Structure formats: structure tokens, C-alpha cells
Chain A
Amino acid sequence: MSILESSALDAQQAADGQAATRPVEGHSQWQLTWRRLRSDRVSMIALGVIIIMVILAIIAPAFAAITGHGVNTAYPIQGENDAGNPVGPGVNGFWLGTDSTGRDLFVRILYGARISLFVGVVTTLIATVVGVAVGLMAGYFGGIIDTILGRFTDAVLAFPYVILALALAVVFRPSLTIILAVIAFFSWAAIARIVRGQTLAIKEKEYIEAARSLGAGPFRIMFVDILPNLLAPVLVVGTLLIPNAVVFEATLSYLGLGIQPPTPSWGNMLADASNFYQVAWWYLAFPALFLLITTLAFNLLGDGIRDAMDPRTERLIAARRMRQRRARDRKRAADAGQGPAIPDTVNG
């Protein structure tokens, strides 16, 4: 194309509207979201905490090696005082003290983190895949499929998990697989419901009709056209499902329906700790603290992502930057002891 033609095109575009001459790559929704998220300090801290927690969980065996204490090894001599009670933090090389049978609390907490994070992430992944599939199909196909899937989703959402957990615990012995199945089973419904609602709304849009007029089949439409518009809410709900799953697992283990001792889980450790809080507060405090920090971090991050996805947040960010800039300018002026600096160029 000649220079004349291309400038004519540009002129045409300028006449057409406000197409700015930006770099060729457009900013996708994700890039914009990430930028907003980056400016949110709380979310970044939460993300950092999560990353640290994950790293700690992964290298847990390293800490077992460093301290020289195995995860399930009891140390009746160093790990217990004369009364047979656990020793406190820092005593005898136990960084956070010991538990009721003299095992290293810190090492056990880290191994418990493995379980919690694993359960949290894996169940959420399963729940997301299943939930998206169910929600998409229910929303897109409508009719009898929607009625069946929809009712089933509602039933699962409202179902008291504790009943099923109890029942399954009797029929099958509790194990990691059972827990994963139970938690995933109760988590997918939340995503399915949201996905279904969004799909119903998106289905009516003209670009879906356009896709149908092109000859696209239902599955192509669902996964190529509808799904990208769903990812935002799914991501938010997914991130918030993880702490739910972590708490769920901890509760089940606490009740004895989850991870069985001696395998450490924050839940079953806290169950045991409840009998010893009078003589060993650290046994209760530290697992609880780790549990709290983990769930809090995920919740904060999830909230942060939700805000970052919302274009209205741009105004808040811009307002915040404006305030920061003004504060900085005022401070600079105050430091210099004079009015706002006048650049030399103005004076020639």
C-alpha cells in the first residue's frame, strides 16, 4: 500500500472516530487487570504471603532435615518436660515447641500446610472444571437440560455437607481421596450457578447469534465465544473457593472425619491441641495462626482480584494517585520552604 493510501486510511480512521495511534498490540482484559492489581498493596502482600506459604510447604522436608526432627517422630525426652507436657517455642531446638507426644510442631505445621494447600488447590481446580462445564451446558442448552442440571446444582448448594461427610465416614474409612471428592463435590455448585447465570445473559448477545449464523456448533460457541467472557467471575470465585476448601478440610479433620492422625493436618492438630491448651498454648496458637493467615491471604487476594476486574476501580486508583502526587508536591514545597517550584524554563 502506498504512503498516500495508508495516510488516507489513517485520515479515514480519524474521521471515523477516536482510534488512537497506539502500539499494535491491544491491552487484553488480563493485562489491564494485572496492572490494577499490582497497584493494590494489600493484594500484593496477600499474594506474597501465599507464595511464601506455598514455598514453605514444598520445602517442608528441608526443614525436617535442618531441625533434625522427623514429621512423625516423637521425642519423649527432649520434646517433653518433666511433667510429660510439651515444651515451648525455642526450647531444646524446637522452633515452635512440641505437640502432645513430643513431635516438632513447626515441622508438623509445614507438613500440614502441604495437605491444606494441596486440598485447597486441587479441589478448586476440579470444582472449576466441573462447574464451568455444567453451568455452560445448563445455561446454553436451556430447556430440560437446564431444569435437571439447575435443580441438581441448587440441591448440592443447599445440601448440608456435614451429613454427607458423616455418612461417608461411616461407610468408607476417611482418606485423602474421600476428602478431595467430598470437598470438590460441594464446591462445584457455586461456580456452576454463576456460570449458568452469565451464560444465560451472554447467550442473548448478538455476537452469539452471529456465530450461529456462521455455522458454529454449540460446543464451539460455548468454549470459544462464551467462555472468554466468563473467565473473570470464575477467577474471582475460584480464588475465593480455595480458602473455603482449606477451612472445609480443617473442619473435617478436626471432627475426625478427615485426615487421620498421625498424618498432620491443621485440623486434627487443633483438635488434639484443644485438650492441652492449658499447658501448651503454642500447640493451639501456631497452627491456628498459620490457618488464619492462609485463609485471610486468599480471601484478600480474591477480593483484590474482584476489584481489579472492575473497570470502575480505575477511578479509585486515579484518585489515589492524584492524592499521593499532591501530598508529595506539598511535602516537597514544605521542605524547600517556599511556594511550588517554578521551573527555570518559564523564566527563560
Chain B
Amino acid sequence: MASATRESKPDDDVLVRVENVVKHFPVKAGGFVRHTVGQVHAVDDVSLVIERGKTLGLVGETGSGKSTLARCVAGLLPVTSGRVIFNGTNITRLSRAAMRPYRREVQMIFQDPYSSLNPRRRVGAIIGDPFAIHKTATGAERKRQVQELMERVGLNPEHFNRFPAEFSGGQRQRIGVARALALRPKLIICDEPVSALDVSIQAQVLNLLSDLQHEYGLSYLFIAHDLEVVRHVSDKVAVMYLGRIGEAGPAEELYDKPRHPYTVALLSAAPAADPDTAAARQRVILVGDVPSPIDPPAGCRFHPRCPKAQEICGKVEPPLVRDDSVPPPAGDGEPGPDAGQPAADVPGGWAHVTACHFPVVPGESLAAVGAKGELA
């Protein structure tokens, strides 16, 4: 899978560059001597970019590798191979000490509001942790900043001596946001931040995140499995399947004209609020379960479940290619100095890219295609 891999200059539009990242987990068997019997291919050769001040949404089912990828970008997991470049600096194999300044620039918000906060510590201490760890504020100054943060995210600053148990789920997520915001990071990685919340609360937290993005110029890597949520918050969206990116592109573009069969299926399954739209939609039902990442299928990983699969799909891995029918936005230069290199083919860029031998064309109905699987 080809892609431009030039190091970006710090004043580029690109904040984070992920290049050909691979993350495998060894599977060990017991016995007298524990040895490795296989690998979990959690993330297999993924590249993407995150632009400054923009949100990249990462969608996929459980087992697609999106959480693993997020942790690789956050530096919580060492990559098996590949590079992560943040603001021009290669942060892939840094030691813990060397990573420290990077930690101030990248923060994470976690999925479960009930286990992402230490139940035995007071909320003020939790939010104050970043200041304590990086020694940027102490004592009264720290308290002031903590209370400022609490106010900013919509919490009562007088509650900073309370314990997490005394807050609701939505409030706890706000605490998590406050903690992530403390050191004014450039990038916040949101790992399914609203999946565990009630729908009405989801909206509030998403709005908060959006406000903060405008106010502080934050970039987000937003991970979710719910397409509608992602659509609402993202500028660019990438769809992952079994450790690889199947399709990526600007949000509206992807939702209006999905090209990868998997994306089409996902979109068709999302509930539509408007009954007319729902009726008009053709449900594409995929047959079978997601295969195990220990032994991914050969060729295109989606081919066992794909209604459009042909013989080549089981043999050759489709590369991520740009949809040439979509013109680049005006002013956004065509591939620059190193012309000839499709620089914008990286997921997260302005182009709409798909990895499929037989992408879905507009107007095509997958449900009508016979071959594999049941008809909707």
C-alpha cells in the first residue's frame, strides 16, 4: 500500500502523521515453556493524518483495531513497526523520559466514565494530576486552574473536593475532559467517549467537545462505533475493518457516497430517524461473524462477508486509492513539490480513498446483488 511518507514540516497543516503502523500481539501457549503460537493482527499497516484543529473520526466494530491504533498514537502501546510523527517529530520509539514533553501535547479521554477516574481520589486531585505530574502549577495556583477547568466544562467548581462516586456518568466524562484539557494539549484522543452515556447526555458532551475545539484549536482523533455520532463531530472519517482502513474521506462525502461495501453495510444498518428515509433504505445484511484477527483472511479482509466479492478479492489485497471523480478542493494544492506522489491518498487528507477492487458506485444497490449472503 503506497503512500507519501515525507516528514512534514512543523508549520504544515498536518499535526499527526501515522505511517504504516503495525501492531501485533503475540499469542502465547502454556506448557512447560511458554512460546508464541500466533499473532493477533490488531493493526496491520495503517497510515493516516490528523490535521490541525480538525477532527478525524475512526469507525469500526469491536476487533477492528481502532482502540489499539489510538493507543499507539497516544504512545501507550509500543508499535510493532511503522512510525508516528507528531508535529514534525518522530515519537515512535522514544523512552519514557523522552516522551514526557509529548504527553503534554496529547491527551486521552476514555470510554467508561465509571472506571476512568480513581474512586479513592477527590475530583480536584484527579483534574490536578497533569499539573502535578508535569510540575506546572502547585498549591493555590493549581486549585485555581482546576476550578477554572471545572467551570469551563460545565461543573460546579465548588465540588472539587467530592469523590467521583458523587457525580453522574455525564459529569464524570466532563471531569475526564477537564483532566485532558488541563495542559492545553494539541491533540485529544477520544476513545468512544460517549458510548457509555445516555443519548441525551451524549449530545451535551459532544457539544462541549465541539466548543472546546473552537475555543482552543484542538485536534481530535474521535473513535466510535456509532456512525451517526461520528458524522456529527468529524471533519474526516476513516472506517476500519480487521486492522486495516477500508475507506476514508471527508465526512459528508463518505456518508453521501460510500464506496466500500463494508461502509455501505454499516450505513444501512444505522437507524434512521426519518421513517421515510428508513423505508427507502435497502438493508444490507452481512453474513457471518467478524473473523478472528489472529488469522485474518487472505486478500481483502472483508471478502468472506462481502456481497460483491470475486475471485481476485480472496487473493490480492486492494490498495487504498483515490476516487478520481472527486476534484481536489480549490486552493488545496495538487500533490506538491514531489509531484507524481499521490500525497493526499492518506486517510485523513482531503481525498476520498477506498481499498476495494469493486467499489460501490452511486446508485448501485448491494441488496440487489446476488452472489453471497442473504438479500435484505
Interface residues of A (CB under 8 A from B): 1, 6, 9-10, 12-13, 15-20, 22, 24-29, 205-207, 209-217, 220, 224-225, 228-229
Closest-CB distance, A8 to chain B (whole angstroms): 10
Please, what's the 1-or-0 string for B15-50, where 1 marks a CB less than 8 Å from any CB in chain A?
000000000000000000000000000000000000
- Chain A residue, CB-CB nearest to B110: A206
Across the interface, do B170 and A26 meet the contact criterion of CB distance under 8 Å?
A: no
| Cα A299 to Cα B120 with chains together (Å) | 27
Known: A16-B168, A210-B176. 8 other contacts (CB 8 A): A12-B204, A19-B171, A25-B161, A26-B122, A206-B115, A206-B116, A211-B129, A213-B76
Closest-CB distance, A226 to chain B (whole angstroms): 9
Across the interface, do A229 and B171 meet the contact criterion of CB distance under 8 Å?
A: no
Q: Of B95-103, B298-306, B351-359, which stretch is located at the interface?
A: B95-103
For window 90-127 of B, CB contacts with A under 8 Å fall at 96, 99-100, 103-104, 106-108, 110-112, 115-122
Counting contact residues on chain B (CB < 8 A from A), the size range is 35 or more
Q: Does B66 contact A (CB under 8 A)?
A: no
Across the interface, do B119 and A229 meet the contact criterion of CB distance under 8 Å?
A: yes
Across the interface, do B117 and A213 meet the contact criterion of CB distance under 8 Å?
A: no
Across the interface, do A210 and B179 meet the contact criterion of CB distance under 8 Å?
A: yes
| Cα A6 to Cα B150 with chains together (Å) | 13
Across the interface, do A215 and B100 meet the contact criterion of CB distance under 8 Å?
A: yes
Across the interface, do B133 and A19 meet the contact criterion of CB distance under 8 Å?
A: no
B201 proximity list for chain A (CB < 8 A): 16
Across the interface, do A216 and B129 meet the contact criterion of CB distance under 8 Å?
A: yes
B116 proximity list for chain A (CB < 8 A): 206-207, 209-210
Across the interface, do B115 and A207 meet the contact criterion of CB distance under 8 Å?
A: yes
Please, what's the 1-or-0 string for B71-92, where 1 marks a CB less than 8 Å from any CB in chain A?
0001110000000000000000
A212 proximity list for chain B (CB < 8 A): 76
| Cα A322 to Cα B191 with chains together (Å) | 46
| Cα A207 to Cα B106 with chains together (Å) | 16
| Cα A217 to Cα B155 with chains together (Å) | 29
Across the interface, do B120 and A9 meet the contact criterion of CB distance under 8 Å?
A: no
Closest-CB distance, A290 to chain B (whole angstroms): 38
Across the interface, do A229 and B118 meet the contact criterion of CB distance under 8 Å?
A: yes
A and B contact pairs by CB, cutoff 8 A, 9 listed: A1-B151, A6-B156, A15-B200, A25-B162, A26-B161, A207-B118, A213-B107, A214-B179, A228-B118
Across the interface, do A228 and B76 meet the contact criterion of CB distance under 8 Å?
A: no
- Chain A residue, CB-CB nearest to B159: A24
Across the interface, do A214 and B170 meet the contact criterion of CB distance under 8 Å?
A: no
| Cα A305 to Cα B138 with chains together (Å) | 36
- Residue from A16, A28, A207 in contact with B117 in the complex, judged by beta carbons closer than 8 Å: A207
- Chain B residue, CB-CB nearest to A210: B116
Q: Does B255 contact A (CB under 8 A)?
A: no
B161 proximity list for chain A (CB < 8 A): 24-26
Listed residue (A12, A16, A216) with the most chain B CB atoms within 10 angstroms of its CB: A16
- Residue from B106, B133, B163 in contact with A216 in the complex, judged by beta carbons closer than 8 Å: B133
Please, what's the 1-or-0 string for B162-178, where 1 marks a CB less than 8 Å from any CB in chain A?
11001111110000100
| Cα A228 to Cα B164 with chains together (Å) | 14
Q: Does B134 contact A (CB under 8 A)?
A: yes
B115 proximity list for chain A (CB < 8 A): 205-207
| Cα A24 to Cα B166 with chains together (Å) | 11
Closest-CB distance, B198 to chain A (whole angstroms): 9
| Cα A215 to Cα B97 with chains together (Å) | 9
Closest-CB distance, B68 to chain A (whole angstroms): 13
Q: Does B11 contact A (CB under 8 A)?
A: no
A1 proximity list for chain B (CB < 8 A): 151
- Chain A residue, CB-CB nearest to B156: A9
B121 proximity list for chain A (CB < 8 A): 224-225, 228
Q: Does B130 contact A (CB under 8 A)?
A: yes
Closest-CB distance, B158 to chain A (whole angstroms): 5
Closest-CB distance, B196 to chain A (whole angstroms): 11
Across the interface, do A214 and B133 meet the contact criterion of CB distance under 8 Å?
A: yes
B110 proximity list for chain A (CB < 8 A): 206, 209-210
Listed residue (A12, A13, A26, A28) with the most chain B CB atoms within 10 angstroms of its CB: A26
